[in-house]
């Protein structure tokens, strides 16, 4: 974004300078917005009313400074949209277009429509391409050393070979996750800890897969496991709301997904119905992928097993035009490749979805010839996180794969 210094008249007359309508201070300690002023620098008691009248037609840009954090409030127009990255530009444009229907008259700190995230509201109705998560009871979560209290999700992580000198109880690190900050406490004694039932998560993310919180096993390649197609997402809700202002001020999303490997030890924590469904899904997933992915060592005799409840990729089978496929590298950074073995020439379109089903990017790959061919695609504009990749053809193929975009 253009900035100017020096003579004010020269700056304000510059066609390259985009001025905000308001600016305010953001206190990162209290997560409060204060010191609201209109940009004309003339104090007027009608400022707050002016802001309230315009707040649904503005976008707040949070600029971190050395001595203060400022939010500059801009009218939503082409000039400001062209300065944003593609992902933010699309979100803000969609937000502005649906604003009158979905968000008119609500307060910035109001609760979003029931069951919808900001991204779903901003992108319209969510499409059928979302992660199916598992919700556990308090008793089940307790076996995993997870609990919820005061709108905070607490996770305890056992410290190997460390015990309390007085009680002999094993010690743990406790992390509390909420939308304001993460709270860490060391050397917490564990009551009734049973190592026979405890399972460590491979990874933690928010409910959109947008950030990694921790990995607790240094002996594994965490990134490879994150992008693995068979991790089980356990969604834990804090009970807190996530408002539009929370989004604009970049507060953390309050709900957490704990990602687990589907080991028998983990499945024993689940109810029998869910555990059996996952076992059947894994059989289907292994069988189907052995037939349709390049460089897959798995084998599957006979027909593919039909079971698909918890894994997006278990529905991928030999289909209309695609014989085999591969997405690599995965995790990806700037670019990734799509390799296809096609029975016949067809048109290919690839989509990237957030974990809640909101479409973020579309790649109109175009015509691809019969046989093996490869296309490089750019992840530009997609922030680091875990996403769903959907591969489609005009012959009716629909293939799903998880992909991790890393920093």
- The confidence score (pLDDT) of residue 117 equals 43
Instruction: Give the span between the Cα atoms of 376 and 326, in whole angstroms.
Output: 12
Q: Is 13 within the bounds of a domain? A: yes
Domain count of the chain? 3
Assess whether 117 and 147 both reside in one domain.
Answer: no
Query: How confident is the model over 98-130, as pLDDT tens digits?
Result: 554 444 433 334 344 444 443 443 333 334 567
Give DSSP secondary structure letters for 91-124: HHHHHHHHHHHHTTT--TTSPPSTT--HHHHHTS
Q: What angle do CA 275, 139, 175 make, to 5 degrees?
A: 105
- Quick one: 96 and 215 in the same domain? no
Pairing of strands 232-236, 256-260: antiparallel
Q: What is the pLDDT of residue 316?
A: 62
Q: Is residue 297 part of a domain?
A: no
**How many whole angstroms from its chain centre is CA 62?**
20
Residues 106 and 200 in one domain: no
Tell whether 295 is covered by a domain: no
Two tokens at 190? 């564990």
235 and 353 together in one domain: no
What pLDDT is stored for residue 42 in this prediction? Answer: 46
Same domain, 156 and 40: no
CATH number where 360 lies = 2.60.40.2550
> Is 344 part of a structural domain of the chain?
yes
Which of 205, 237, 267 corresponds to the end of one domain?
A: 267
Q: Would you state the torsion angle of the CA atoms of residues 270, 271, 277, 280, taken in this order, to the nearest 10 degrees?
A: 70
- Which residue stretches of the chain have pLDDT < 50? 1-17, 41-45, 66-67, 100-127, 214-220
In a domain, 210, yes or no: yes
Last residue of a domain, one of 70, 92, 122: 122
Domain of 390 in residue numbering reads as: 319-407
Q: What is the pLDDT of residue 337?
A: 94
Q: What is the pLDDT of residue 98?
A: 56
How confident is the model at residue 227, as a pLDDT?
Answer: 60
281, part of any domain: no
Phi, psi of 223 (to 5 degrees): -60, -40
Do 115 and 143 sit in the same domain of this protein? no
Establish if 374 belongs to a structural domain.
Answer: yes
Residues 263 and 182 grouped into a single domain: yes
Whether residue 101 is found in the same domain as residue 204: no
User: What confidence tens digit (pLDDT) does each residue in 163-209 have?
Assistant: 999 999 999 999 999 988 888 899 999 998 888 889 999 888 888 88
Based on the domain organization, do 169 and 199 belong to the same domain?
yes
Q: 147 with 116, same domain?
A: no
Q: Which of the listed residues 96, 122, 148 is the one where a domain comes to its end?
A: 122
> Do residue 150 and residue 258 come from a single domain?
yes
Sign of CA dihedral 399, 376, 299, 386: negative
Residue 294 placed within a domain: no
The pLDDT, as a whole number, for residue 109 is 40
DSSP labels for 339-360?
A: EEEESS-EEEEEEEE-TTS-EE
Q: Are residues 156 and 262 in the same domain?
A: yes
């Amino acid at each position: 974004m253009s900035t100017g210094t020096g003579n004010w008249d020269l700056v304000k007359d510059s066609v390259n300078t985009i001025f905000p309508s308001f600016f305010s201070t953001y206190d990162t300690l209290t997560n409060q917005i204060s010191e609201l002023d209109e940009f004309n620098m003339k104090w007027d008691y009608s400022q707050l009313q002016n802001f309230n009248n315009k707040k649904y037609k503005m976008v707040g840009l949070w600029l971190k400074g050395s001595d203060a954090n400022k939010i500059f409030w801009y009218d939503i127009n082409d000039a400001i949209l062209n300065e944003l990255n593609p992902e933010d530009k699309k979100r803000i444009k969609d937000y502005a277009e649906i604003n009158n229907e979905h968000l008119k008259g609500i307060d910035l700190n109001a609760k979003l429509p029931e069951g919808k995230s900001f991204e779903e509201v901003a992108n319209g109705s969510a499409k059928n391409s979302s992660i199916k998560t598992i919700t556990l009871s308090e008793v089940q979560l307790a076996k995993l050393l997870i609990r919820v209290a005061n709108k905070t999700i607490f996770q305890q992580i056992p410290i190997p070979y460390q015990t309390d000198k007085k009680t002999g109880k094993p010690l743990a690190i406790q992390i509390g996750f909420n939308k304001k900050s993460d709270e860490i406490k060391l050397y917490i004694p564990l009551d009734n800890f049973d190592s026979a039932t405890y399972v460590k998560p491979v990874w933690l993310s928010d409910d959109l897969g947008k950030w990694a919180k921790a990995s607790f096993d240094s002996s594994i390649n965490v990134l490879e496991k994150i992008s693995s197609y068979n991790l089980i997402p356990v969604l834990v809700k804090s009970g807190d709301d996530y408002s539009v202002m929370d989004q604009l001020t970049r507060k953390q999303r309050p709900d957490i997904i704990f990602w687990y490997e589907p080991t028998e030890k983990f499945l024993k924590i689940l109810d029998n119905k869910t555990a059996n469904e996952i076992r059947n899904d894994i059989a289907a997933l292994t069988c189907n992928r052995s037939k349709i992915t390049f460089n897959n060592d798995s084998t599957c005799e006979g027909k593919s097993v039909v079971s698909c409840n918890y894994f997006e990729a278990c529905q991928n089978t030999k289909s209309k035009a695609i014989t085999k496929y591969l997405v690599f590298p995965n995790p990806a950074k700037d670019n990734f490749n799509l390799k296809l073995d096609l029975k016949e020439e067809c048109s290919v379109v690839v989509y990237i979805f957030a974990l809640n089903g909101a479409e973020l990017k579309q790649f109109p790959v175009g015509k691809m010839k019969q046989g093996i061919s490869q296309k490089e695609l750019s992840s530009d504009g997609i922030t680091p996180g875990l996403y769903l990749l959907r591969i489609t053809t005009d012959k009716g193929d629909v293939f799903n794969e998880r992909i991790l975009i890393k920093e």
